Structures are given as C-alpha cells and as structure tokens.
Amino acid sequence: MKYYIIAGEASGDLHGSNLIKAIHDQDTQADIRCWGGDKMKAAGAHLIKHYKDLAFMGFVEVIQHLGTILGNIAFCKKDIQHFAPTVLVLIDYPGFNLRIAKWAKANGIKVVYYISPQVWAWKENRVKTIKSCVDKMLVILPFEVDFYKTWNFPVTYTGHPLVEVIQQEIEEVPIVPLSSKPIIALLPGSREQEIKVKLPLMLSVVDNFPDYQFIVAQAPSLSDELMQDIIADKNVLLAKNQTYNLLKQAKAGLITSGTATLETALFGLPQVVCYKGNPLSFWLATKLVKVKYISLVNLVMDKPVVKELIQNDLNKENLIAELSEILKEGEVLQQMKTDYQKLWQSLGSKPASTIAAEEIIRSTQT
C-alpha cells in the first residue's frame, strides 16, 4: 500500500520514524512518502520536505511567515495528488495538517490522525473539523479518550510512543560518558527562534554551578555556527544527536516545554521546565489556552510534579533557585521521583507504534 505521512517537528520525526518501521514490519510492500526529518528518512520513507523548513511557532511568527506556509500547503496538496496514497497519516502539527486533512477528505483520501492536536488545551472547536475530515484518530495520552468521548467521537488509545522508545533505550543502549564531572543537561528546543530566546537564559547560570559540567543537547536541525555563537566563551559542551545519552547520565536538567519534558521524566531526571516566547504571542496564548500547566508531565499527572518557569519567571535568579533545589537530596527531589514512577504507570506499556500501524492498515480495509 501507499502511505503519505506528514510530521512538522522533531518529536513528530521521532514518532513518525518508529511508525514507519512498524508499518514496514506489517506491510513489506509499503511505499511511504513523507514530510518530516532525518529519522523518518532513515526508517525507509522518501522525504519530500524537512520539518526545519516548516517549524514556525507562535501567533506572530506564523503571520510573519504566512506566505511560506501557504506555499507549503499548496505544494503538499499537489504532491499528495500526484502520489495518490492509499492513506494519509497526519502526526500532530494541527495548523498545517488540519488544512491538509480537510482537503484530502474532500478529495476522497482516507485520513488517519496519529497523535492528536492538543484540542483539549485550546481551539476546542477544532474537534468539529476533526470529526468531519478524519476517518480515525489515534491518541497517545490517556485523558484524551474521555475528552473526545464528550464530543461523541470514538478514538483509539495506542499508548504513548515515548514509553517503548525510552524503555528500549534504558535496557539496550549503553551510556557513552560525556564528562568526568556531574552533568547538568540543557535542552533548549529544536527551533532556531526558541533557541535564541531561551538558551542564553539557561546559560546565564553556568558560573553559579562550577562543580558541574553543563552540556547542551543540540537538535540535528540546528547549525553548529548558531550554537557556538550563543555559547560563546562559556565552559559548556555540545552533544549533537546524543539527547538520550545525555539524559541518562545527567544529574538534573533545564528543559524546554514540550515533548522533552516527558522524555526527561521517563528517564527519571530531575528537571526545571523553561518557556519564554514572543511577548505578544504569549499574551494571546494566555487568553486562549485553557490548561493549568505547560509541561506534559504535569498535564498527564494533573499536578505540579515539576517546576515551570514561564515567560518573565524564566530568569537567572529563579533558575539558580530551582536548579539548586532539585540538585539537593531533599523532599522536593524525592517527591518528584515518586511522581515519575506514577507517570510510567499512568502511560502504560503498550507498543504504541505497532498498535498505530495496525490501526492504520486496518483503516484502509473498511
């Protein structure tokens, strides 16, 4: 069968790559074309457009790049039409993917959505669009099943794909030492615009922790020149394509909000969650977003498991205080570790990629 898969960011590339492997395991004749990244390409898909050319984050940034975004949408439609897939698989990335889904449904193409947009957080009316143009929704967070039930839209819970990825990493992949000193991991994100804002703030605390080696996880989409310019003369190391190796051996982490917070928790690493964006975009978000937390860890557990430093709270003084707290063997650290264990239990142990591939293939037979 022919599969067209669209992911628009680094986490989507990771989950898309494992989905592609699972599809190939179950459909040895699979012909897969994708928008994504290096991991999806390495898994055996023909990569059409890299996510680094698609990742615009925030209201203001999207408006500034509207011409590019509309051009990408038009190109994507033409490419899908030319490829004529058996099924279109969309991975999160709703601003782009829901437009494609609507067009695909109107053109008689089967649409499966793997990893739901966070409609429970904001733009809940998007569920109406999803119901009208998505043939099957596969969700990865346990509370999403009940959310969609309130909209009378049945969905399938696959389990979270990070669980199987990290379980395998912990059990099978040896640690490659990165420093003789205890390590503090910095995960500033994968988009250039967020790196330029958040990484300098994270680096501002380096001199306050001389007994630790700070190591920055460099996303493959980011240039060495950009990272070196930001790091400048600070005593900081870069770990390119070694994020999991870094998380496995670090003592604590300063982590950008998003999928990385969940990855960090599943590795059992104490963390402080960091977010700072365009002031106007953030102000608009506060008027529209309905959730209590920005980190997936806190959202899944429905409690403040990890400290979130958001916008103006993300400053040197707060970073020093919160990082110092989780480096101590105190009550805060012990409670965080206890909650991390409960998080594992909450997400379950389903082989999400395998289940998702089964559901996608089955959807083409109905």
pLDDT of residue 282: 58
Work out the pLDDT band at 255, boundaries 50, 70, 90. Answer: very high
Per-position DSSP letters for 74-106, written without gaps between them: HHHHHHHHHH--SEEEEES-HHHHHHHHHHHHH
What structural domains and CATH numbers belong to the chain? 2-159+350-363 (3.40.50.2000), 167-347 (3.40.50.2000)
What tens digit of pLDDT does each residue of 205-249 get?
999 999 999 999 998 878 899 999 999 889 999 999 899 999 999
Whether residue 335 is predicted with pLDDT greater than 80 in this model: the reply is yes
Least confident of 35-39, 108-112, 188-192, 249-253: 188-192
Residue 159 · residue 351 · CB < 8 Å: yes
Element (H, E) at 325: helix 316-327
Q: Cα dist. 41→21, 34, 100 in Å?
A: 11, 8, 21
**How open is the CA angle 264-42-224, to the nearest 5 degrees?**
60
Which residue would you say has higher pLDDT here, 282 or 34?
34
**pLDDT in the model for residue 297:** 95
Predicted confidence (pLDDT) at residue 55 exceeds the cutoff of 90: no
pLDDT tens per residue, range 271-325: 999 998 766 655 555 555 666 888 999 999 999 999 999 999 999 999 999 999 9
Q: Which two tokens stand for residue 210?
A: 């001389």
> What's the DSSP call for residue 219?
-
Query: Is 2's pLDDT higher than 90?
Result: yes
The three-state secondary structure class of 290 is coil
pLDDT band at 59 (very low <50, low <70, confident <90, very high): very low
**Mean pLDDT, residues 109-127 taken together:** 90
pLDDT surpassing 60 at residue 65:
no
Residue 53 has pLDDT above 80, yes or no: no
Mean pLDDT to the nearest integer, 38-57: 86
The amino acid occupying position 109 is I
Answer whether residue 66 shows pLDDT above 70: no
Confidence of residue 264 (pLDDT cuts 50, 70, 90): very high
pLDDT given at position 45: 98
Give the pLDDT of residue 225: 92
Q: Rounded to an integer, what distance in angstroms lies between the CA atom of residue 213 and that of residue 138?
A: 40
DSSP at 20 = H
DSSP labels for 138-182? EE-SHHHHHHHHHTT---EE---HHHHHHHHHHHHPPP----SS-
State what percent of residues in the chain have pLDDT above 70. Answer: 92
Percent of the chain with pLDDT strictly greater than 90: 73
| Chain segment 80-95, per-residue pLDDT in tens | 999 999 999 999 999 8
Q: What is the pLDDT of residue 124?
A: 86
Residue 62 confidence (pLDDT)? 53
Give pLDDT, residue 110: 97
For the stretch 141-193, pLDDT in tens is 989 999 999 999 999 999 999 998 999 999 999 999 999 999 999 999 888 88
For residue 347, the surrounding DSSP H or E stretch is helix 331-347
Return the pLDDT at 284: 54
pLDDT at 174: 94
